[in-house]
Amino acid sequence: MSVIDTALNQIKSLHPYTPGKPVEELERELGITDSIKLASNENPLGCSPRVQEVIEHQLSEVSLYPDANAYYLKQALAKNLGVETHQLTMGNGSNDVLDLIARTFLTSGKEAVFSEFAFIIYPLVTQACGAKARISKALPRQSAQAYGHNLEGMLEQINENTAVVFIANPNNPTGTWVEKADLLNFIEAVPEHIAVVIDEAYFEYVNVPDYPDSTTWLNQFNNLIVTRTFSKIYGLAGLRLGYAISSPEISDLLNRVRQPFNANLLALSAAKASLEDSAFVEQSIQVNTQGLSDLKQYCSDKGLFYIPSAGNFLTVEFGSRTSDLYQKLLNKGIIVRPLGNYQLHDFLRISIGTPDQMQRLYDSLSEIL
According to the 3-state scheme, what is the secondary structure of 182-209?
Answer: HHHHHHHHCCCCCEEEEECCCHHHCCCC
| Neighbour tally for 86: CB within 10 Å | 15
Residue 4 lies in a domain: no
| Neighbour tally for 143: CB within 10 Å | 13
Is residue 242 classed exposed, middle or buried when 0-12, 13-18 and 19+ CB atoms within 10 A define those classes?
Answer: buried
The tally of domains found in the chain comes to 2
Residue 247 lies in a domain: yes
Does residue 113 sit in the same domain as residue 198?
Answer: yes
**Domain-ending residue, one of 275, 307, 333:** 275
User: What's the pLDDT tens digit per position in 295-330?
Assistant: 999 999 999 999 999 999 999 999 999 999 999 999
Does residue 324 sit in the same domain as residue 224?
Answer: no
Does residue 270 sit in the same domain as residue 337?
Answer: no
Does residue 251 sit in the same domain as residue 300?
Answer: no
Q: What does each C-alpha distance from 328 to 22, 31, 34, 234, 365 come to in angstroms? A: 16, 15, 16, 31, 9
Q: ∠ at Cα 87 (81, 93), nearest 5°?
A: 75
**Domain-ending residue, one of 275, 290, 305:** 275
Q: What is the pLDDT of residue 27?
A: 82
Residue 96: what are its φ and ψ, rounded to 5°? Answer: -65, -40
Is residue 328 classed exposed, middle or buried when 0-12, 13-18 and 19+ CB atoms within 10 A define those classes?
Answer: middle
Q: ∠ at Cα 193 (199, 248), nearest 5°?
A: 65
Does residue 193 sit in the same domain as residue 115?
Answer: yes
Q: What is the pLDDT of residue 17?
A: 62
Residue 125 lies in a domain: yes
Residue 51 lies in a domain: no
Q: What is the pLDDT of residue 23?
A: 85
CB neighbours of 6 closer than 8 A, spacing ≥ 6?
none
Contact 74, 84 (CB under 8 A): no
Domain, as residue range, for 182: 63-275
User: What's the pLDDT tens digit per position in 52-108?
Assistant: 999 999 999 999 999 999 999 999 999 999 999 999 999 999 999 999 999 999 999
Report H helices in 149-258: 151-157, 180-189, 248-257
- Within 13 Å, how many C-alpha atoms sit on residue 161's CB side? 12
Residue 56 lies in a domain: no
Q: What does each C-alpha distance from 345 to 168, 300, 321 come to in angstroms? A: 21, 20, 10
Q: What is the pLDDT of residue 8?
A: 67
Does residue 29 sit in the same domain as residue 130?
Answer: no
Residue 138 lies in a domain: yes
CATH of the domain at 96: 3.40.640.10
Residue 52 lies in a domain: no
**Domain-ending residue, one of 230, 260, 275:** 275
Does residue 110 sit in the same domain as residue 71?
Answer: yes
Residue type for 92, please?
N
**Dihedral sign for Cα atoms in the order 116, 118, 119, 123:** negative
Low-confidence ranges of the chain (pLDDT < 70): 1-8, 11-18
CATH of the domain at 344: 3.90.1150.10
Does residue 318 sit in the same domain as residue 267?
Answer: no
What's the whole-model pTM score?
0.94
Does residue 237 sit in the same domain as residue 94?
Answer: yes
Does residue 229 sit in the same domain as residue 361?
Answer: no
CA distance 258 to 122: 18
List residues bridging with 199 in a β-sheet.
168, 227
CA distance 286 to 289: 5
Residue type for 178, please?
V
Residue 184 lies in a domain: yes
